[in-house]
């Protein structure tokens, strides 16, 4: 029995660090600290209290409302850029200065900024893990979904 | 500075600062008179390359600047299995930041040094627990400065004029009311990390206001409360009615606005938060660790008499983390000899989260710190048991986890 709904959603984001990127979505409503929460060698989310614990975010579009806690999050994200284990892009619900700063310094040091955009909370809530997300320079977000009923990976 | 008239390091720092000012939506930059650098923690090659790039360009801080924990205890690292390669790189990072003219305080509790900021002082601080303490308890003004940006602010002496630097952004947003929480609980040290863990989880990045305290908390209790709120959440400022300087009344704390949310906190909520701080099951114990944020002189004074006449179990390590300066004060006060006789050890200038010092056989930690409890499972792969200072000592002596739950029933 197949009951898939394939759909394309167009959303408009605010580019914080503009650029173009695409990848598989990893989505959680729980904020994430990269310090103690992200292995910069592998891209694994290692915060064992986080719903995305154990997922590999390298090359993905990581969608979390904002960064939590420690101000070392930026340093860990910069290391991840250097090793190639950073997310392709990060989508938040507001201006997250920690993610933005890591991206600016990654640009200054390595010429490799991480794309960071912000969606409204209502639009953010439409994203699901497993969606294919493309983001363009203007902040247009194209979401390709394929859903079978409720997605248990989403919280 | 952008044009390079103050040298290439100031130019690089200002170029990052200006791009970030746009991200923050700042109309202008403003002056600061102090900074605290969290970028000192050695995370990996990129952070070291960044520090040495700035240092090699001749970077100098423009304001009095303290340094957060480093990645290496220069005095004791060889007593632990810290890899030599790591030690070398972490040390290079220390040298890089010291060469910029910063004060080698090497502590995550710079507010308990002589460089404690004053009420209303505009500063650029990194380190989440230090930020929340400076804003909330001291009434100094800092945004949540991330690693890598803090040093740009120190070198330029400027910050984007936004956020918690401005009075209108310091109003409370969510009201937490203690409902029937007994005074005996409120007077207990353990209440503060537990309550802070709960507040951070609910407040997230908002400004919480605490009402209903019937005791006057000690400075170290406020320190552990703030550190907990900044671990489970992204709290950078809290107000405590009748306790913190910008909150003489509820009206003052909310600047006359209504709370966006009201949360009633009961003993059941606190019991739940206390349970959340422990991930270990069973009674196995490998190590007790105290001092996140770094142990203060008052905390050493509290610990020392509890250790007299007792000794740590052969199967357990007992560790206190602090700064080299605080260790000297504790030694002068006679608090270190009891620790040594007990069989406890001292780590200075860093902590178990910032340097790879723990032997691989350490699987279960016990602590009275919500910050250690929050981060150890993810950063160290250990499980953790949270307890009071007395529980930690009793467990270290017994060799397995024991907790006195009588207060929390």
Domain boundaries, chain A: 9-147
CA distance B195 to B12: 42
Please, what's the b/e burial string for B354-376 (b: 16 or more CB within 10 A of its CB; e: otherwise)? bbbbbeeebebbbbbbbbbbbbb
**Predicted pLDDT of residue B304:** 98
pLDDT digits (tens, 9 = 90+) for B288-304: 999 999 999 999 999 99
The predicted structure's pLDDT at residue A80 = 98
Rg of chain B on CA atoms, in Å: 21
Q: pLDDT tens, B265-284?
A: 999 999 999 999 999 989 99
pLDDT of residue A155: 42
Quick check: A108 contacting B, CB < 8 Å? yes
List chain A residues with pLDDT less than 50.
Answer: 1-2, 149-155
Q: For residues B229-250, give the mean pLDDT.
A: 96
Q: Assess whether pLDDT exceeds 80 at residue B43.
A: yes
pLDDT tens track for B374-407: 999 988 999 999 999 999 999 999 999 999 999 9
Q: Each residue of B146-203: pLDDT tens digit? A: 899 999 999 999 999 999 999 999 999 999 999 999 999 999 999 999 999 999 999 9
Domain at B8-167: CATH code? 3.30.499
- Percent over 90 (pLDDT), chain B: 97
CATH of B287-408, one of 3.20.20.70, 3.30.499.10, 3.40.50.2300, 3.40.50.300: 3.30.499.10
B314-363 pLDDT, tens digit per residue, is: 999 999 999 999 999 999 999 999 999 999 999 999 999 999 999 999 99
Give the pLDDT mean for B233-237. 93
The reply to whether B169 touches chain A by the CB within 8 Å rule is: no
Å between A38 CA and nearest CA of chain B:
8
Amino acid A147: pLDDT: 64
The domain made up of A9-147 is a member of CATH 3.40.50.150: no
Beta bridge partners of A141: A11, A135
**Of B50, B128, B149, which is closest to A109 when you measure between CB atoms?**
B50
Specify whether A70 is catalytic: yes
Helix (H, G, I), strand (E, B) or coil at A56: strand
Structural domain spans, chain B = 8-167, 171-276, 287-408
Q: How confident is the model at residue B255 (pLDDT cuts 50, 70, 90)?
A: very high
Contact B20 A74 (CB under 8 A): no
* Helix (H) / strand (E) containing A63: strand A61-63
Q: A35, A45, A66, A69: which to substitute to probe chain B, counting the most B Cβ within 10 Å?
A: A69
Measured between CB atoms, does A14 come within 8 Å of chain B?
Answer: no
Please name which of A149, A128, A151, A145 lies closest in space to residue A25, comparing C-alpha atoms.
A128
Element (H, E) at B130: helix B128-133
pLDDT at A67: 85
Q: Would you say the CATH fold of B287-408 matches that of B8-167? A: yes
Helix, strand, coil share of chain B (percent; to 5):
40, 15, 45
H or E stretch at A142: strand A140-147
Pairwise CB contact (< 8 Å): B144 & A16: no
Q: What is the mean pLDDT of chain B?
A: 97
- ipTM of predicted complex: 0.87
B contacts of A37 (beta carbons < 8 Å): 378
Give which of B247, B243, B252, B199 is closest to B218, Cα–Cα: B243
**pLDDT band per the 50, 70, 90 thresholds, residue B216:** very high
What single-letter DSSP state applies at residue B252?
H
Compute the distance between CA of residue B137 and CA of residue B226 in angstroms, rounded to an integer.
9
Task: Name the pTM for this structure.
Answer: 0.92
Dihedral, CA atoms, B7, B12, B18, B21, nearest 10 degrees? -120
């Amino acid at each position: 029995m197949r009951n898939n709904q394939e759909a394309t959603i167009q959303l408009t984001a605010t580019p914080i660090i503009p650029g173009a990127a695409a990848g598989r979505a990893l989505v959680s409503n729980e904020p994430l600290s990269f310090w103690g929460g992200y292995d910069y060698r592998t891209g694994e989310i290692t915060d064992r209290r986080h719903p995305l614990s154990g997922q590999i975010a390298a090359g993905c579009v990581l969608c979390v409302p904002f960064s939590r806690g420690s101000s070392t999050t930026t340093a860990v994200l910069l290391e991840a850029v250097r090793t190639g284990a950073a997310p392709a892009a990060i989508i938040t619900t507001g201006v997250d200065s920690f993610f933005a700063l890591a991206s600016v310094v990654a640009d200054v040091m390595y010429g490799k900024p991480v794309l960071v955009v912000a969606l409204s909370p209502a639009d953010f809530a439409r994203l699901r893990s497993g969606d294919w997300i493309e983001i363009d320079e203007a902040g247009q977000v194209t979401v390709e979904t394929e859903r079978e009923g409720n997605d248990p990976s989403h919280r | 500075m952008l044009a390079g008239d103050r040298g290439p390091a100031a130019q690089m720092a200002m170029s990052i600062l200006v791009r970030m000012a746009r991200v923050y939506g700042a109309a202008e930059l403003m002056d600061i008179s102090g900074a605290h650098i969290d970028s000192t923690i050695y995370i990996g090659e990129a952070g070291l390359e960044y520090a040495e790039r700035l240092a090699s360009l001749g970077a100098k801080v423009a304001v009095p600047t303290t340094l957060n924990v480093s990645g290496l205890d220069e005095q004791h690292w060889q007593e632990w299995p810290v890899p030599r390669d790591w030690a070398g790189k972490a040390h290079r990072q220390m040298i890089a930041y010291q060469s910029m003219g910063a004060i080698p305080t090497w502590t995550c509790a710079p507010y308990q040094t002589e460089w404690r900021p004053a009420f209303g002082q505009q500063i650029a601080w990194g380190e989440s627990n230090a930020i929340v303490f400076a804003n909330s308890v001291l009434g100094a003004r800092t945004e949540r400065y991330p690693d890598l940006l803090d040093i740009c602010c120190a070198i330029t002496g400027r910050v984007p004029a936004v956020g918690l630097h401005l009075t209108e952004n310091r109003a409370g947003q969510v009201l937490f009311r203690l409902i029937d929480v007994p005074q005996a609980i409120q007077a207990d040290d353990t209440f503060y990390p537990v309550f802070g863990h709960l507040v951070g989880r609910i407040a997230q990045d908002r400004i919480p206001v605490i009402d209903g305290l019937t005791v006057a908390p000690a400075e170290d209790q406020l320190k552990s409360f703030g550190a907990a709120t900044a671990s489970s959440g992204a709290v950078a400022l809290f107000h405590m009615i009748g306790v913190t300087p910008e909150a003489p009344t509820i009206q003052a704390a909310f600047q006359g606005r209504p709370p966006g949310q009201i949360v009633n906190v009961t003993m059941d909520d606190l019991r739940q938060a206390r349970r959340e701080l422990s991930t270990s099951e069973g009674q196995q114990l490998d190590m007790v660790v105290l001092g996140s944020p770094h142990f203060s002189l008052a905390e050493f004074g509290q610990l020392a008499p509890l250790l007299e006449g007792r000794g740590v179990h052969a199967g357990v390590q007992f560790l206190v983390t602090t700064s080299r300066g605080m260790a000297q004060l504790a030694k002068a006060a006679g608090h270190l000899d009891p620790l040594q006789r007990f069989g406890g050890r001292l780590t200075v200038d860093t902590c178990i989260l910032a340097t790879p010092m723990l032997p691989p056989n350490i699987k279960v930690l016990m602590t009275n710190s919500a910050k250690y409890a929050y981060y150890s499972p993810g950063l160290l792969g250990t499980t953790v048991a949270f307890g009071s200072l007395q529980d930690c000592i009793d467990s270290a002596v017994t060799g397995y986890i024991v907790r006195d739950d009588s207060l929390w029933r």
